[in-house]
Amino acid sequence: MIKAGIIGATGYAGNEIVRLLLAHPEVEIVWYGSRSYIDQAYARIYQNFFRMVDAVCLDDNMTQLAEQADVIFTATPQGFCASMVNEDILSRVKIVDLSADFRIKDVNRYEEWYGIKHPSPQFIDEAVYGLCEINREDIKKARLIANPGCYPTCSTLSIYPLVKKGLIDPDTIIIDAKSGTSGAGRGAKVDNLFCEVNESIKPYGVATHRHTPEIEDQLGYACGQDVRISFTPHLVPMNRGILVTAYASLKEGVTKEQIRRAYEACYEKETFIRVLPEGVWPQTRWVEGSNYVDVNFAADPRTNRVIMMGAIDNLVKGAAGQAVQNMNLLFGFAEAEGLRQIPMMP
């Protein structure tokens, strides 16, 4: 039994970590951290945990938490984890950071896209990007995990096999992505009010969304060259889910059969990635509440392009579920432990 602490436990991602860890047979939660709700009962903030969680919220003192926990999850805004982590803490506890603080290896690029000074660039090279299906072996040996963003998780996994096999021109990639409103967090914002989002869909962060360099980096590592993409996210009136539809030009002579083989070879042994049958397109409702990723493609010989599609639950595989998957790898548990929830329908 390992002990886990969560800083940012009252945000949507933190709450989802709590939900998953309470069902994990190898974990005890010892710290529900929340700067906004110190000394308040956690189950009063999230009533779904009534008579399941008796703890009160504590502060965000990472140094104190490191004395009590084996692993710390930081579901916090950009800059927090990087401002708190130090060598002493990392020598005592493993950290899974759900912010972007350690995802981008070029500190100047991070500061440009996120608009803040990086507080601890000395740990960037050490941090392992926690996309388990790609970096599994490095994750097992790490002490600091950069948990991927929700859009980058869905986008990268939808495109990765074709970039890795060199079947598409990476400079032609266009990503159209749509997310439920929980991806914007639990903070009160006019743009996220029911009347603002219901019966509507809108693009945001057009040509400026800060997940862009993260996606470019991961696809670049896969093909061994710099990649530049066009990425446009959209907000849709649903609670959970991300749907990615991506487009790219095929290399000369690439067939539909080659594309299918690339996906199946890449993901045939992956528990959480489901390559759908031909003609069955991913839908967010088929993965809701689960750690699964559904992917598929359509080849378009008329334009010599391929359409790559993927769907995830942004709060599970896009955040908390992936964090727990990383924790399982860090501590030698079965990778799917605590993550066997069946997708919810309807």
**Catalytically active residues, by annotation:** 150
298: β partners: 307
Between the alpha carbon of residue 279 and those of residues 103, 283, 287, 307, 309, the distances in Å are: 34, 13, 18, 12, 11
b vs e for 282-317, b when ≥16 Cβ sit within 10 Å of the residue's Cβ?
Answer: bebbbbbbbbbbbbbbebeeeeebbbbbbbbbbbbb
At 30, which helix (H) or strand (E)?
A: strand 27-33
Q: What is the DSSP letter of 344?
A: P
Residue 321: exposure state from Cβ atoms within 10 A (0-12, 13-18, ≥19): buried
Place of tokens 């400079």: 171
The Cα 271–Cα 293 span in angstroms is 10
The Cα 71–Cα 189 span in angstroms is 32
Query: Could you give the count of Cα atoms lying within 13 Å of 164 in the half-sphere of its Cβ?
Result: 17
The Cα 154–Cα 279 span in angstroms is 19
